[in-house]
Structure 1
Amino acid sequence: MPVRHLDYYITQRKLISSQPLSLLKDIRLGIDGNFWLRKIISGAASELYLPGIGGTPSGIKAAIEKELEGFKAASIQPLFVFSGLSLIRKDKPHVNEDIKLAKRNAAWDAVNAGKMDLALSSWTSSPAVHQPDLIHLVIRILKENNVDYMRAPYGAGAQLSYLERNPKQIIHAIHGGSDILMFDVDRVITSIDFAKQSFTIISKKEVLQDLLLSDDQFLDVCILAGFDQFTTFPPLATEVAFSFKNIHDLLRQHRTGFNAVKAHVDNPQVAKYVDSFCRARCAMRHQPILNDDGHIEPMNLEQAPSDIHEFIGYRLPDEVYYFLSRGVITEATLNSILCGNGAEFSPLCNGETAEYRKFLTTDIMQIKAQTVALTKAQLHTFYERKVSILYWFEGASAPEHAVKTESAPVTVSAISNWKNGKLSVEKELKKSGLARPDYSFCLGLVASDAASTVQAAGQEKPAPLTTLTEVQTRHLSKLLQLRSFIEPSHAPSAYGKAMAEALKGQQQLQQSADLQDALFIALELIRAELLTSRPYSIQYTKKQVLEDEAVTKAVRLISRVTSLIGARFKGVKSWAGPLSRELLAFNSVGKVLTRHLRHMSEALIMEMLLSNECQKENLNFSDLATQLPFAYEPSTVLGVLVKEYLETLTLTNTGSAAIPASSKDQALKQVEEHIGATSLQSLSGTVKEELERGFAFWDVVCEAVKSLRASNTISKELAQEFQDANTWVKTRKI
């Protein structure tokens, strides 16, 4: 949360010094994870085309692992601390995104006009990455590399300050932004350059001496300047003329921030600011931290006021903060419970289609209802209060839409009757050859043993689950039941049977949790009738490439399906090839569904843990966190490759029933030439290999559709769309 213009002031006054990296040898370095991740995203992992393809930055894993290698080579032991919950706000979330929407539309206009430099310029000023969506993925990468991490109860700065000041010397130094100087720290390392073997550092004492301010006055000047969670003092908040020096002069004149604000209280803009300033100041001085005993306590506990909930928010059980610290749950769901509201912001395609907006207000709202109900289930009745959602497309004065937990398709009570069946989960998993449970395993288990897993009413509460395997199996089974893949009787539903049928014999999918997640998403979108060959209400392609409407529909459906698994990237060079806004519109549907299923999955595991369904002392919470489903969001690239290939092949083989291998090879060559050398080098496999993956996943989804049609679960029209597309593409696959 950078303080506005503070970095510029510090640099201008030469208050930052460079030191040799060897000085940090053998230290434990606490790192503000959000600050560090921002640099990763804007640096080595930056992708110019990301706003046009969606998904996560393809280079993020390589960029992170390169950083970790740097720490290891320098004998620095890092501890990454990510921010947690937001401080409570009295105002509603700001959902007016007019500027962002206009920039995205301008970028796509430039793409259509062939002016990529202009498009990239517009995209650069409209970020494509929402950092909180990446934290669980980053935690996975850190866990894979055996690097320590935690999530703070609230801000990372407060937690890092506590860890450094702790008599046990949990960390020896802090790496983060200059905003950490607002806390009780002596110095902050602001950058580390492994190539130059140096780092830069700011001394708080030198900054205070230069400003001629006390520690309390420095905090005031930072709050008045403004940062992520707090707006700039209104009379000095102008975009053009703002400077840190003006804020500093104001503070020097009035001696304290409170006096400075009160002096302008007649200004209508300042009337509400007085209370906000006082709340922000208390929040920075008394922000809760997780202590080394595992308890939550405010900083400067002795001076903390009794009404801390007024500016921090209401306290959750210590257990919940611990689950948050290990990444088992993220802040999104908890924030909505604490603040009473949440917001849906525009996706990368701008979310203009009627289908996307209806999906948000119907299907996604039902998933939100399930998530909120799960989150509240084991909390104090105080949290049984209204949670409302605001939508960006309803404008600056957007009305609130209440999340009605009673509208959840499957209630929390409906999934509370599980117990261990006759089959041993551990033995069955070993027999299957799987490393850990997945959807296929859970569906197979209930298909064989459903009746014995149902806890009859009035029976004694079953013993808690004791192993990670049991917890993961129960979690995925309950997740499947919440989304109606498993019936109340615990037998697979028609959708569950379709998933099981589709996965049968599919070794690649059975060994990949991410591909199984993609099938889960595909079936959810089929149920919502959003995975179809029909165009959405807005078509961004003015002229179709293919004249035959039936063929156009087939290509549209196949490319949508294949875009659900995403292309594989090396992570060194990024995609710079063809784009499709129509596929991006579909990608946005998949992305918002993935994100909300992830939140529901986290809320479910929290409910299981708080209800003592699991024997918590036996669990490795990091393993539990990093193996939760719906971690990855694919880009549109594989769908674009499939679309390009099928269109190219069709244009050169009009009317051909049987397509010769030479024509396929020629079409493949043309696609490779069109996407360019840079994009070819970005892929971890060849275009042919990626297309083969895409068509293999298409076959799996078609198998699931066939099962759904046989049980009359989906309409004849939708089933026919898949059948027609599958018949057409059969001779055209690589």
Structure 2
Amino acid sequence: MGSESLAFKEWVKSEGLQQSFPIDAGLKGREVAIEVEDYLNSLLTNSQTREPLLPALGGLPFALKDHIDKDLENFRQAGIIPIFVFSGLEIGCRDRKTISKESKKALDILDEAWSVYDLGRGDDAVVAFGKACTYRTSHIARYLMFYLAQQSVQVIVAPYSAAAQIAYLDEVGQTDCSFGSASILVFGVDQIITHFDWEAQRGYYVTQEAILHKLGYSKPQFVDLCLLSGSSILAIMPEVENDPTPSKLTAARAVLTRAGNNDGHTACLRANDTEYLDLFRKAKTAVQHMVIVSDKGEYKPLDPDNSPSDLHEVISHRLPDELMTWFHHGFIGSRVLNWRARSEIFETPPLDGGSSQAYKDLVQDKLRPMRTRCLAVLTKSLHRYYTKQDVNLVCWFNDNDKKALGLPDTPFSEVAKDAESWHVKDSLLNQASHVKNIDLNYSPIEYAITMLSDEATAKKTVTRRKDGEHSLITTQSELLSNILWRFLQDRGYINSDHTLSAWGKALMAAFERAISDKLLGTTSPPGEAEEAIFVAFELLRLDVLNSKPTFQQPPYTGAPMRGTDADKAHVNLISRVACLGTFKHHAIGYTGPLSRHLLAFHQVAAAVRNTLRDLTEVHACNMLLSASADRERENEYRTIASRMPFGKEPDLGLGLVVKSFLDEQSQDPSRRANIKNWFNHAEDIDGDLAKAWKMWAAINAGVQAADSAIVSSELKNTFQNADTWLQQKRQAAPITNGTNGA
């Protein structure tokens, strides 16, 4: 929606339809509904706030938190009460072909950007990367939701369209005005604020009446114009997209004029594009009957009395209201719910382009069992329709090859049998003296594993409920800890008697090394180190964390380039581990070296991390669906969800720092560069390297301690040889490149 929203606002301004008002006089004490997708897209694309190299780094924009804080402070000083409204599940007219086309467009831009960068045209590459800043940014919206909640800002997650939800809030008088895209006007709001100029203390808005007068349109005709020119619920019409006219609104208006009567349906018939015509019809129906959540918590269409019987073909198959309530509160994200409602997982290409066989194998085969498990845990408590309805896996590189997951063959009665042995209460948590110094909210994985490292305590946690018992879990600490134990047992770190498995003991060994190095419990963001260690173990189990030259050049430029093949292999492995941590960078756009090769691994790790988050969330929901936990938690859901692991995606910065540093160590001593000069806005290169070495040491300790039945001697040797090499290179670092090698 980013480019379409920006185009609409530019058109409004160019046509003189924009009006202004003094913020202090116009909005003081008012509640403003903010369409989050439009708000984020503005931050990511506006010349004053965008960070063009975001698609080359992944993670979050470095200045994102500062921009949000500044806006929240401006709202506070102006007396404005912001209500941030997030979009929910995908609707029917956002079909696979539409999503695939949008992905291909973004990847073409990114391919060109990398080509320009590889030619040494850095400034041109920055501009090129900046054209795809809104591709694959759902993790940024997730971060924003939890951050706003932590700042006590009101957040609403719409069941589907945020624009429709905002229109409902306006209709029932829950908000005073709306900020966002033209989609809000499409759903019937009379006027929208397009942007704020905080320096001038003025807001800018446009009314639907002014637009209709300018165009000479009726409201239905304006809706058609917005839909055909691209909106949050319908992709731009191909004929409009291919029109050379710079303004797509102008191009769409010309298409409507040629069709006669300025009617979108006639225009689609005239274009002889049956697929787009079907999507347009669905979008028109969605405008009238989009499902929203009412002020009473009911999920219903905008016009319930006249909704068609086949509305599920337009929106999606209905999920239980209880499940949608937890989605509304952020307890579960949209990914697995979309898969379940649409009966399809559609894998889109990653930021690096997705041409590597490693990534294709990962999403098509290696992650398939875990995703099937996610859906099984969720489905077991749903309507019988879903237990009989399979889910197909479809990947962008062969979208004609649908692979059914086999859910109807799942023995659902056995799916969460082990999970039902976890109903641990605070009374037991408080007795465990060996976890007294671990903050469950800060380091939940470390807490969960360490608690079970004492076998006597572990066996006490076997707490199957008796027949008829329910809502055994009542406090936040009980819910969070039991979620983590269910998740960890599902992943094989815990045995059926709740003692640590071989993988659990290896993970504990890694944590013990991290504790001795004062790594755990000290990083920012919270949980960074324990998540990095855990994800590394998961990557090892999937056979994707290694020293091999997995991503071939071309197109994956930026691989280790100094020294012998053995040197390069060591750099590969150690810098890949560093990709799992974060980079301390000033609140400004990144400048420095890039590596498509490292980005490819980063995207592999991101795919695994997201799937781990999915599995954590479905186990959380299963506790509520199965009546194991008290459901009357009101605002606690989002707090607990923000403390569950794998919610924040690291950027590539730390991997780039480590790769650059180690590459230089294989350079002739007289020619070694000080890498601090390459990362202009880094806060603490020495501190970042010190953290990376501790992360590496912890993971290597876990690998070396692992039972030979789960980690081969060959893999242990690979890690140990890399570690020996690293210690040798670090000893030379202080006199060669200006870092202390800590």
Structure 1 CA distance, aligned partners of 2:238 and 2:656? 47
Residues 229-244 of structure 1 mapped to structure 2, 5 A cutoff: 229-233=233-237, 238-241=242-245, 244=249
The aligned counterpart of 1:562 is: 578
2:474 matches 1:466: yes
2:298 matches 1:292: no
The aligned counterpart of 1:699 is: 697
> Which residue identity does 2:720 align to in structure 1?
Q
Residues 444-523 of structure 1 mapped to structure 2, 5 A cutoff: 444-448=450-454, 449-455=457-463, 461=469, 463-504=471-512, 505-506=515-516, 507-511=518-522, 512-523=526-537
1:630 is aligned, of 635, 646, 649, to 646
Residues 365-514 of structure 1 mapped to structure 2, 5 A cutoff: 365-384=368-387, 385-394=389-398, 397-405=399-407, 411-420=415-424, 424-428=428-432, 431-434=436-439, 436=441, 438-448=444-454, 449-455=457-463, 461=469, 463-504=471-512, 505-506=515-516, 507-511=518-522, 512-514=526-528
TM superposition score normalised by structure 2: 0.88
Task: Please report how far the alpha carbon of residue 75 of structure 1 lies from its aligned counterpart in structure 2 after TM superposition.
Answer: 1.3
Task: Please report how far the alpha carbon of residue 91 of structure 1 lies from its aligned counterpart in structure 2 after TM superposition.
Answer: 4.8
Task: Please report how far the alpha carbon of residue 323 of structure 1 lies from its aligned counterpart in structure 2 after TM superposition.
Answer: 1.3
Which stretch shows the higher mean deviation, 2-11 or 475-484?
Answer: 2-11
Change (3 A) 1:722 1:232: closer
TM superposition score normalised by structure 1: 0.89
2:327 matches 1:314: no
2:282 is aligned, of 279, 284, 289, to 279
Task: Please report how far the alpha carbon of residue 129 of structure 1 lies from its aligned counterpart in structure 2 after TM superposition.
Answer: 4.2
Task: Please report how far the alpha carbon of residue 363 of structure 1 lies from its aligned counterpart in structure 2 after TM superposition.
Answer: 2.1
Task: Please report how far the alpha carbon of residue 604 of structure 1 lies from its aligned counterpart in structure 2 after TM superposition.
Answer: 2.0
Contact 2:560/2:572 (CA < 8 Å) preserved in 1?
no
Residues 505-544 of structure 1 mapped to structure 2, 5 A cutoff: 505-506=515-516, 507-511=518-522, 512-536=526-550, 538-539=552-553, 540=556
Change (3 A) 1:379 1:142: same
The aligned counterpart of 2:719 is: 722
Structure 2 CA distance, aligned partners of 1:643 and 1:34? 35
Displaced runs of 4 or more, over 6 A: 252-257, 406-410
The aligned counterpart of 2:156 is: 150
Task: Please report how far the alpha carbon of residue 472 of structure 1 lies from its aligned counterpart in structure 2 after TM superposition.
Answer: 0.3
Change (3 A) 1:223 1:645: closer
Cα displacement string for residues 602-646 of structure 1 (whole angstroms, at most 9, x for unaligned residues): 222122222211112146112112212112222222122222222
The aligned counterpart of 1:683 is: 682
The aligned counterpart of 1:349 is: 352
Contact 1:217/1:255 (CA < 8 Å) preserved in 2?
no
Structure 2 CA distance, aligned partners of 1:516 and 1:544? 27
What 5-or-longer segments of structure 1 have no aligned partner? 654-662
Contact 2:84/2:156 (CA < 8 Å) preserved in 1?
yes
> Which residue identity does 2:603 align to in structure 1?
S
2:592 matches 1:577: yes
Structure 2 CA distance, aligned partners of 1:641 and 1:5? 38
Task: Please report how far the alpha carbon of residue 426 of structure 1 lies from its aligned counterpart in structure 2 after TM superposition.
Answer: 4.2
Contact 1:95/1:391 (CA < 8 Å) preserved in 2?
no
Structure 2 CA distance, aligned partners of 1:33 and 1:562? 32
Task: Please report how far the alpha carbon of residue 359 of structure 1 lies from its aligned counterpart in structure 2 after TM superposition.
Answer: 1.5
The aligned counterpart of 1:659 is: none
1:323 is aligned, of 326, 329, 339, to 326
Query: When the two structures are aligned, how many residues end up with a matched partner?
Result: 708
Task: Please report how far the alpha carbon of residue 370 of structure 1 lies from its aligned counterpart in structure 2 after TM superposition.
Answer: 1.4
> Which residue identity does 2:723 align to in structure 1?
N
Contact 1:164/1:172 (CA < 8 Å) preserved in 2?
yes
> Which residue identity does 1:138 align to in structure 2?
L
2:637 matches 1:639: no
- Aligned-partner SS, 1:648: helix
Residues 88-103 of structure 1 mapped to structure 2, 5 A cutoff: 88-89=92-93, 91-93=95-97, 94-95=99-100, 98-103=104-109
Which stretch shows the higher mean deviation, 313-322 or 467-476?
Answer: 313-322
- Aligned-partner SS, 1:134: helix
> Which residue identity does 2:439 align to in structure 1?
L
Contact 1:4/1:226 (CA < 8 Å) preserved in 2?
no
Change (3 A) 1:688 1:230: same
1:334 is aligned, of 325, 334, 337, to 337
Structure 1 CA distance, aligned partners of 2:431 and 2:174? 41
Contact 2:473/2:628 (CA < 8 Å) preserved in 1?
yes
**% identical equivalent positions:** 27
2:114 matches 1:108: yes
Q: What RMSD, in angstroms, separates the aligned Cα atoms of the two structures?
A: 2.9
Structure 2 CA distance, aligned partners of 1:3 and 1:637? 30
- Aligned-partner SS, 2:88: coil
> Which residue identity does 2:500 align to in structure 1?
P
Cα displacement string for residues 223-255 of structure 1 (whole angstroms, at most 9, x for unaligned residues): 344424324456555331475456547767988
What 5-or-longer segments of structure 2 have no aligned partner? 731-740
Structure 2 CA distance, aligned partners of 1:66 and 1:134? 17
Contact 1:352/1:538 (CA < 8 Å) preserved in 2?
no
- Aligned-partner SS, 1:730: helix
Which stretch shows the higher mean deviation, 26-35 or 201-210?
Answer: 201-210
Structure 2 CA distance, aligned partners of 1:482 and 1:538? 34
> Which residue identity does 2:701 align to in structure 1?
E
1:122 is aligned, of 124, 128, 135, to 128
Contact 1:35/1:176 (CA < 8 Å) preserved in 2?
yes
2:202 is aligned, of 184, 187, 198, to 198
Task: Please report how far the alpha carbon of residue 194 of structure 1 lies from its aligned counterpart in structure 2 after TM superposition.
Answer: 0.8
Structure 2 CA distance, aligned partners of 1:579 and 1:502? 30
The aligned counterpart of 2:192 is: 188
The aligned counterpart of 1:302 is: 305
Contact 1:71/1:78 (CA < 8 Å) preserved in 2?
yes
Which stretch shows the higher mean deviation, 300-309 or 24-33?
Answer: 300-309
2:167 matches 1:161: yes
